[in-house]
């Protein structure tokens, strides 16, 4: 994978090397890519499932036919200064979802070209799964993406997010006060 980072100086715990939204169907994909697309679909639907995330990221980093641009505008969750292990783990899942969603679309269309809309849709899908388990985990920017998906043409919105050169990874503030506990969602 050609991974291009556009300056983000942040360490992400649990990420080596660095429901809702609709993703394209794998039936249109080249046959050689369908097994990896199926694995991506499984991860995006069940991000807590053991092994899928690591296998996908290992595959992504070994591929030469995938390019993912990582910027502060498309991965704002890694810019916060939260130190709680659970929060950092959820943020790492969202980062993985961005890479996997982006890669999945490239494999589906058979074209090596960054697909930020698909990456954002992957984030939204995994975010919904996380929020279904931990209601008070939140990323304000992802909440805004979710609202945009419901109220405007998402492709144009995603493009504007991806090309926002003013987004910087210098927030360093925490979303949670010291000692805050992420509470499981009540059934």
Dihedral sign (CA 71, 14, 97, 80): negative
pLDDT band at 7 (very low <50, low <70, confident <90, very high): very low
Q: What pLDDT does 26 receive?
A: 63
pLDDT digits (tens, 9 = 90+) for 140-178: 999 999 999 899 899 999 999 999 988 888 767 899 988
Q: Taking Cα atoms as reference points, which of 124, 77, 76, 102 lies closest to residue 3?
A: 102
pLDDT band at 130 (very low <50, low <70, confident <90, very high): very high
Q: Taking Cα atoms as reference points, which of 57, 14, 24 lies closest to residue 39?
A: 57
Cβ count within 10 A of residue 151 = 9
pLDDT digits (tens, 9 = 90+) for 64-88: 899 999 999 999 999 999 989 999 9
Q: What is the pTM of this model?
A: 0.85
3 Cβ contact list (under 8 Å, min separation 6): 17, 18, 61, 67, 68, 70
Higher pLDDT: 127 or 26? It is 127
pLDDT band at 19 (very low <50, low <70, confident <90, very high): very low
22: helix, strand or coil: coil
| Predicted confidence (pLDDT) at residue 187 exceeds the cutoff of 50 | yes
């Amino acid at each position: 994978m050609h991974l291009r980072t556009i300056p983000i100086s942040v360490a992400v715990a649990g990420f080596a090397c660095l429901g809702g939204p609709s993703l394209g169907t794998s039936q249109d994909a080249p046959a050689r890519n369908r097994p990896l697309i199926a694995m991506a679909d499984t991860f995006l639907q069940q991000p807590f499932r053991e092994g899928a995330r690591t296998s996908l990221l290992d595959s992504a980093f070994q591929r030469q036919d995938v390019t993912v641009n990582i910027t502060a505008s498309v991965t704002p969750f890694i810019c916060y200064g939260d130190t709680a292990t659970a929060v950092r783990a959820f943020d790492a899942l969202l980062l993985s979802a961005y890479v996997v969603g982006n890669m999945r679309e490239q494999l589906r269309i058979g074209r090596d070209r960054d697909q930020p809309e698909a990456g954002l849709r992957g984030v939204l899908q995994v975010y919904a799964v996380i929020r279904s388990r931990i209601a008070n985990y939140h990323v304000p920017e992802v909440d805004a993406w979710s609202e945009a998906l419901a109220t405007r043409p998402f492709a144009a919105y995603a493009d504007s997010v991806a090309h926002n050169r003013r987004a910087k990874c210098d927030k360093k503030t925490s979303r949670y006060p010291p000692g805050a506990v992420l509470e499981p969602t009540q059934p």
